[in-house]
Structure 1
Amino acid sequence: MKKKPSHVSHYRDVRGKPRWRFRRVGFPESQTTEPFGSEAWWTWYAAASLAQPKPVAASRSTPGSIHALGVAYYASADYNGLRPTTQRTYKGIFDRYRDKYGAKPVALLEPRHIRGQMDAMAATPAAANNMLKVLRAVMRFAVDRGIVRTDPTSGVRMLRYRSEGFHTWTEPEVAAFETKWPIGSKERLGFDLLLYTAQRSGDVRQMTVHQVRDGRVLVHQEKTGQLVDIPLHPRLQTSLAAHKIEHLALLTTKYGKPFTEKGFGNWVSKAAERAGLPSHCSAHGLRKAAARRLAEAGCSAHEIMAITGHQSLKEVERYTREAGRRNLADSAMKRIG
């Protein structure tokens, strides 16, 4: 007998007839009575091994439950049309929601239930608002597909709170990092890529040598799909020239592998900590510092957006307003000297 392929076993049924069974975790089971090695047998095996994987959590999903809604949503064009980073974010948030409420019937979910769930998360208002944002997307899908008649998120308001978001690095903090990590170190290269491109950490950690050419840096932003084409800053050019790059990626771990999303953030934070900086000095904070510098240099909101790739004026205008107030304050104090 020829060696049988993976995920296949054979047995005899109650009538003594030989049967072949295909079993693979996450895939539908399939059986055949075709003789092993025949053309019909291999046709069966090919179909079984190429079958679509079962949707995540399909086995535990009672029809009409929030679990079942998740299975349907993850298989939909609505979800699969999202960018990969958005998919991961949405799935993480909705899976946590399903862990708590997945067994409940989605048709019985009402606005008062969601308000109560958000009240229970009042200590973490940003997380509560993110949950509501994802629920709205899922419930729009449910209404469109006729799974529910009305949207239970309708009329539910976000929690109000004040937050400055990620800390924007100050100039003394930038100087302290540069003192600790000189030109030529990997930490300094990562720092300079973040500060002098003003890109998100997810785009910086994946930058390759092909994105830096002819005195420019080209970035197809993962989050928005925006193409950013910016001039190569002289300080970044010096940093790149001083660092021996041996891989396609500009930044790699000590094992020569690309950084993961979490790994890159931790690496930058640890380098900042070793420079004596507080824990709030993050990779994303350097993007904000770059935007602040551009605003303080007198750049307009649209000029800043051309560098950062922001698609909304709202965030960028905050930097220009703060820089404008500072410049006006300096001018006013000079008048009373």
Structure 2
Amino acid sequence: MELKLKHITIDQDRHGNERVYFRKRGQPKIRLRERVGSEEFHEEYRCALRGIPFVKDEAPPKAELPKLGRPTVGTFRYLVHEYMRREVVTQAPKTRRQKELRFAEICQLTEIGKGRTPIGDRPYAMMSQTNVEEIRNDKASAPEAANHRVKIISAMFGWAMKNEGPTKKKLATHNPAANVAKLDPLNPHGHHTWTEEEIAKFEDKHPVGSKARLALTIFRYTGLRISDVAVFGRQHLYEAKLQDGTRQLRFRIKPFKGTNAKAAPDVDFPILLPLAEALALVPKSSMIFLMTEWGRPFSVKGLGNKMRDWCDEAGLPHCSAHGIRKADAVISAENGATSSQLQAMFGWTTTRQADLYTKAADRKRTATAGAHHLLR
């Protein structure tokens, strides 16, 4: 067995069975027990890289991936096969799985264009913008899923225009999805942004010292995504010496979100007083701050479900964990944070997202300043 992964070593026990270990200087050796090549193995490896415990996702059984069969050169199914084999293989396991399922759906569509041949068996070079629009519209009842179809088709053809096939020519000469418009989302504003009244209502229901209150405090005073809150722990804390000679407790974490995790800059942030007080109540034996009732770290999905329960208990069925992050951005912008500051605080790679919040805050301040002009 050969694994081209950093810090991975393989040895054999006395019975000849191969054992896989993660070995990094300055850290204890970790045995990786999941099946090599599986989604769980790559998740376990990523956890080892980040220095956090691996916890199997408690999600329900995955849907079966439809069999694509052996692709014929030149068909849409063939292009999908090449793209998945040569490009998507380097992406996160969950991303690969999602794309496999979406492409399998598309390959089986027959009510597209003329004839009833499945899309997967048609020549991809003949695919038109109209065909892509029909593929999108087939999923119109779920706009986000429909737009995702367009996105992955566009990404695949964009890749094909830069890479060669067996004839040493570029796999594609055009991108039929390049100019296909997105459908309007059912909820254009995304997750509901918590109001200060809703935060107070949650706090009234869940007192200081409860796990729910600790979760809210971490979300509220770090601005982290749920994927990072699930692993947030003592390994992310450190003390920094300030220019005036005083020391400050801070946290540093690399945000993890899909395939862009490697490119994301670290979030380096001071531990604010409300958070420091909440963390002081966590047992010193807990490396990860939020643990399940069985004493194990939450999976991302598990923490999301738990937040759903806590919000429901507080009479906030429309609120979610991500809405707290949005509230953090709104509060920060209205308190005068600049786009650059928001970008650093929330780990965004550009100021595009930050600008939405600062411009909204500016409009609110400007309207407030001009409101008296309505009076006679």
TM-score normalized with structure 2 length: 0.67
**Structure 1 counterpart of 2:12:** none
**Structure 1 counterpart of 2:245:** none
**Structure 1 counterpart of 2:150:** 132
Q: 1:239 aligns with which of 260, 266, 278?
A: 278
Separation in 2, partners of 1:197, 1:123: 36
Q: 1:183 aligns with which of 208, 213, 218?
A: 208
Please provide the CA RMSD for this pair.
3.1
Decide whether aligned partners of structure 1 residues 88 and 254 sit closer, same or farther in structure 2, where only a CA change above 3 A counts. Answer: farther
Separation in 2, partners of 1:158, 1:270: 33
Q: Is the 8 A contact 1:57 1:71 kept in 2?
A: no
Q: 2:322 aligns with which of 262, 284, 288?
A: 284
Alignment of 1:269-308 (within 5 A): 269-278=308-317, 280-308=318-346
**Structure 2 counterpart of 1:15:** none
**Partner SS state of residue 75, structure 1:** helix
Separation in 2, partners of 1:238, 1:126: 40
Separation in 2, partners of 1:93, 1:287: 29
Q: Deviations over 1:7-61 (max 9, x none)?
A: xxxxxxxxxxxxxxxxx9x9xxxxxxxxxxxxxxxxxxxxxxxxxxxxx988723
Separation in 1, partners of 2:279, 2:238: 12
Separation in 2, partners of 1:88, 1:287: 27
Separation in 2, partners of 1:253, 1:95: 36
Q: How many residues align?
A: 286
Q: Is the 8 A contact 1:296 1:320 kept in 2?
A: yes
Decide whether aligned partners of structure 1 residues 300 and 272 sit closer, same or farther in structure 2, where only a CA change above 3 A counts. Answer: same
**Which segment is superposed worse, 297-306 or 60-69?**
60-69
**One-letter amino acid of the structure 1 residue matched with residue 122 of structure 2:** P
Decide whether aligned partners of structure 1 residues 175 and 218 sit closer, same or farther in structure 2, where only a CA change above 3 A counts. Answer: same
Q: Is the 8 A contact 2:66 2:101 kept in 1?
A: no
TM-score normalized with structure 1 length: 0.74
**Structure 1 counterpart of 2:72:** 63
Amino-acid identity (%): 29
- Cα deviation for residue 304 of structure 1 reads 1.1
Q: Is the 8 A contact 1:217 1:232 kept in 2?
A: yes
Separation in 1, partners of 2:175, 2:272: 49
Alignment of 1:1-337 (within 5 A): 60-64=69-73, 65-76=75-86, 78-82=87-91, 86-87=95-96, 89-98=98-107, 100=109, 103-107=120-124, 108-143=126-161, 144-146=163-165, 147-160=171-184, 163-214=188-239, 215-223=249-257, 224=260, 225-244=264-283, 246-278=285-317, 280-333=318-371
Q: Is the 8 A contact 2:214 2:278 kept in 1?
A: yes
- Cα deviation for residue 243 of structure 1 reads 2.5
Separation in 1, partners of 2:311, 2:289: 20
- Cα deviation for residue 190 of structure 1 reads 1.5
Query: Between Structure 1 and Structure 2, whose CA radius of gyration is higher?
Result: 1
**One-letter amino acid of the structure 1 residue matched with residue 79 of structure 2:** L
Consecutive unaligned residues of structure 2, counting only runs of 5 or more, are: 1-14, 18-34, 38-64, 110-117, 166-170, 240-248
Separation in 2, partners of 1:289, 1:248: 27
